[in-house]
Every structure is written in C-alpha cells, then in structure tokens.
Amino acid sequence: MTDQAARLVVLVSGSGTNLQALLDAADEPGYGAEIVAVGADRTGIEGLDRAARAGVPTFVERLPDHPDRASWDAALAERIAVHKPDLVVCAGFMKIIGRPTLDAFPVVNTHPALLPSFPGAHGVRDALAYGVRVTGCTVMFADAGVDTGPIIAQATVPVLDGDDERELHERIKVVERALLVETIGRMAREGWSVTGRKVRLGA
C-alpha cells in the first residue's frame, strides 16, 4: 500500500449506477482510489452527467465516428492513456474492449452471473432458464473473449420462487455494486497478482 491513490478511468454506457457507487466510495478517506476520468461510447447518458456533477473529466468515443472497429479500439486506448490510469473499470460499458486497451492497462469488468456459468449478454435470463437456485455476480479482468478473463471476486444471490428476469437482475445489481466497490478498493490499497487464471489480492 502506498499513500498515492490509484488512478481509475471508468467506462460507462448508461445510467452509471456502478459509477456512482465508485464515486461515493472514492470520496471516503482511506478508500485508496480516485476516479480521474469517465469515458463513454455514447453521448446523452446519465453516467456522463454523474461524472460532471462530481467534477470528474469525461470523454466520449463513439464507434460510428470511426471507419472500423480497429480504429475505434485504438482511439479509445489513446483517450484512456491521456489520464494515466492504474486501472480501467468497465461499469456497465456495453462494448467489448479491444487489444490496444487490454495490452496497455489492467481492465476490470463485472458480470451478473457466477462465471464461468452463463457468460454473455443474457446471464440473468440464462440462469433463470436453467433453473439454478443460486446465481450471483463476478468481478473479473477483461480479456479478448466474452466474460472469459481471470476471476477476481464473486458473490452469490439466491434465486427466489417466482423471480422474473427483472426482479432477479435488480437484486444482483445491488450485490454487484457492493462487490465492485469492495474489490476495486482492495486492489487499490493492497495490489494484486495473477498466476495463470488465479488472482490474488494483496502483496
């Protein structure tokens, strides 16, 4: 642990509830991290407004403004690099992160299921359809795949009789926000190491 707060760039695509949880946590003494910028892939979203209200610099890099995905990937990495982050956090960012960013920075993402079960865009729906009695959320490092990176932390959420996708997802989101805040704080304060697929927090 050092006295220097870890620098976070947070990426959002929507309302930014996970971002807000991180903003609130970063205001607490001893959390160990500060949000130095918030990036988005679209304009007019509440996530950007949350950052602006907190006085955090923002940037937008829209995919339609580029001739192809590769040029967008490169541009996003360049925009992130300006802020010299120690960690990049995807907080409801609805784009797969490309190699230029993954190769330059550790990128943390969340998923509303207990990976490796139910990856992809419909993790909550798929868990319900399968009939599991317990699901949850995962905080992991992003890699070039879809929800395939090394797992950092997980938390469980029971599936209740009568749950529909919306109800279950809302309960998962509450747990996911808390897990993300706790995990990023520990990474900032204690550091981490990765051996193969195993992530260890702390020195």
Q: Name the maximum alpha-carbon separation found in the chain.
A: 48
Which of 189, 203, 191, 193 minimizes the C-alpha distance to 33? 189
- DSSP conformation letters of 101-146: HHHHS-EEEEESS-TTSS-STTHHHHHHHHT-SEEEEEEEE--SSS
β-partners of residue 137 are 155
Phi/psi region, residue 151 (left: phi>0; alpha: psi -120 to 50; beta: rest), is beta
Q: Which residues contact 203 (CB under 8 A, 6 or more apart)?
A: 190, 191
Distance, CA of 138 to CA of 179 (rounded, Å): 8
Is residue 188 within a helix (H) or strand (E), and if so which, with residue range? Answer: helix 165-190
Phi/psi region, residue 201 (left: phi>0; alpha: psi -120 to 50; beta: rest), is beta
Instruction: Please name the amino acid found at residue 196.
Output: G
CA dihedral (150, 46, 82, 63) positive or negative: positive
The reply to whether 111 belongs to the active site is yes
Q: Pick the catalytic residue: 66, 83, 111, 122?
A: 111
Active site residues: 111
